Structure 1
Amino acid sequence: MSAAQFVGTSDAKWTTEPVATRTEGERFIVEAQEGSDFWENTFYGFSHQNGHALLTPWDGNEAVEITFDLSSFTELYDQAGLMLWHSREQWIKAGMEVNDGVVHIGAVVTDHFSDWSLSPVPEWGGRKVTIRASYHNEAVVIRARTDEHPWRTIRVARFAYPANKQAGPFLCSPKRAGFEVAFTKWRTTTPDEDLHTDPPILD
């Protein structure tokens, strides 16, 4: 399965090509480059723009969901999830990351400078996780769930770009070689009905 077949469109493009991709049944497996990351300046003082995001145009009229397997997440800063993109200086990555030996759910919202919000979810370890973003009124509502846990709202963030938005899966491996992520779904669906109403769970 190619990247284009995975998303069902021919216009998906990597921000930075990963080490390798392959297909095993319904799983689109991507290997990240050692030292790959997305981050802009805040706290650490460095800028990294060599993470791997597979992006396609997203007008925000539908919600977007990415599903992937956490089984391979074992080392510090192993990370993957959903990227919302406007430019190299304006983007949001939302997903799962290993921090201090525990998987965390979180988001990095960037407008020339990056912030970072995260929360430990050790009970999610080894599960299949879905990250979802729904766009409304110049903002995105980001939610997450596993195959055994209900939706959890993790961030409401400003993303005030009426045009030139893109979305898709991402992964990074700041600390090690050989990190692979198995993505199982990438789809658009009905947008959120309301901030306080969980969207349906689709299989």
Structure 2
Amino acid sequence: MTLLRSDGVWLNEPKRWTAEDDRLQVVTDKGTDFWRETHYGFYRDSGHFLGFPTGEAFTASLRVQGDFQTLYDQAGIMVRIDARHWVKAGIELSDGRAMLASVLTDGRSDWATAPYEHDAGDFWVRATVADGVLRLQVSADGKTWPLMRLAPFPAASSYLVGPMACTPERAGLEVVFSNFRLTPPLGKDLHDMS
């Protein structure tokens, strides 16, 4: 699997990006974000997302390397049905530190964060969708995958999944995505971290 697959579709293609071998390098545009309504009352669907089509059940993972510096700088993985039904998950800078962050949107967005105790500049993230359930995992080494979030997620016959990056407060976050894998759902026990 590679980020150079011909079936990838950009949503809000960044002005600056390059792809070579298994690496996608993105530099974010100014004021980019994904958010719907909750607390802030606005809708934003301007973040950068390179989506690859899936069937009704899958596991997707990728490596993310970035230099998060400014409030709300973020990068990771997105699973998307449409503008009202999606999830984004990865690292987001908040309250002066890098946080594990996920936003699950089913009409309106929520936001869940937790401190990330490893190198936020180099991490892996995994999303599994099957039978109306979303499982998010994060890894510091690509080998051990503790649970980040488990939640209901709308069932669909197909999804788009792939790398996502946003900078609501600035432009210029450089992110390298690599090691993209898209497979049938792993089907592992909830506490199996492999």
Give the match's secondary structure for 2:29.
coil
**Is the contact between residue 35 and residue 175 of structure 1 (CA under 8 Å) also seen in structure 2?**
yes
CA distance in 1, matches of 2:44, 2:37: 9
Per-residue CA deviation, residues 12-61 of structure 1 (Å, 9 max, x unaligned), is 11111112112477532101111000000000111101001100111254
Give the match's secondary structure for 2:82.
coil
The aligned amino acid for 1:42 is: T
The aligned amino acid for 1:67 is: R
**Is the contact between residue 57 and residue 131 of structure 2 (CA under 8 Å) also seen in structure 1?**
no
The aligned amino acid for 2:93 is: V
Q: Provide TM-score, normalisation by structure 2.
A: 0.91
> Matched residue pairs, number?
193
1:68 paired to 2:64: yes
CA distance in 2, matches of 1:186, 1:140: 18
Aligned to 2:107: 112
Q: How does 1:77-116 map to 2 (within 5 A)?
A: 77-116=72-111
**Is the contact between residue 8 and residue 51 of structure 2 (CA under 8 Å) also seen in structure 1?**
yes
Runs of 5+ unmatched residues, structure 1 = none
Q: Provide TM-score, normalisation by structure 1.
A: 0.87
CA distance in 1, matches of 2:37, 2:88: 15
Task: Select 2:151's aligned residue among 129, 135, 157.
Answer: 157
1:49 paired to 2:49: no
Give the match's secondary structure for 1:183.
strand
Aligned to 1:145: 139
Quote the RMSD (CA, aligned, Å).
1.9
- In structure 2, do the counterparts of structure 1 residues 25 and 165 end up closer, same or farther at CA, with 3 Å as the change threshold? closer
**Is the contact between residue 84 and residue 167 of structure 1 (CA under 8 Å) also seen in structure 2?**
yes
Q: Which moved more, 1:59-68 or 1:99-108?
A: 59-68
**Is the contact between residue 124 and residue 142 of structure 2 (CA under 8 Å) also seen in structure 1?**
no
CA apart distance, 1:96: 0.6
1:192 paired to 2:176: no
Give the match's secondary structure for 1:59.
coil
Aligned to 2:118: 123
1:168 paired to 2:157: no
Q: Which moved more, 1:116-125 or 1:13-22?
A: 116-125
**Is the contact between residue 63 and residue 192 of structure 1 (CA under 8 Å) also seen in structure 2?**
no
CA distance in 1, matches of 2:10, 2:101: 22
**Is the contact between residue 37 and residue 50 of structure 1 (CA under 8 Å) also seen in structure 2?**
yes
CA distance in 2, matches of 1:6, 1:21: 16
CA distance in 2, matches of 1:6, 1:31: 19
Per-residue CA deviation, residues 96-132 of structure 1 (Å, 9 max, x unaligned), is 1011221001210001100000101143333x21110
CA distance in 2, matches of 1:107, 1:179: 19
The aligned amino acid for 2:131 is: N
- In structure 2, do the counterparts of structure 1 residues 167 and 23 end up closer, same or farther at CA, with 3 Å as the change threshold? closer
Q: Which moved more, 1:51-60 or 1:33-42?
A: 51-60
CA apart distance, 1:192: 3.5
Task: Select 1:29's aligned residue among 25, 34, 54.
Answer: 25
Identity of aligned residues (%): 34
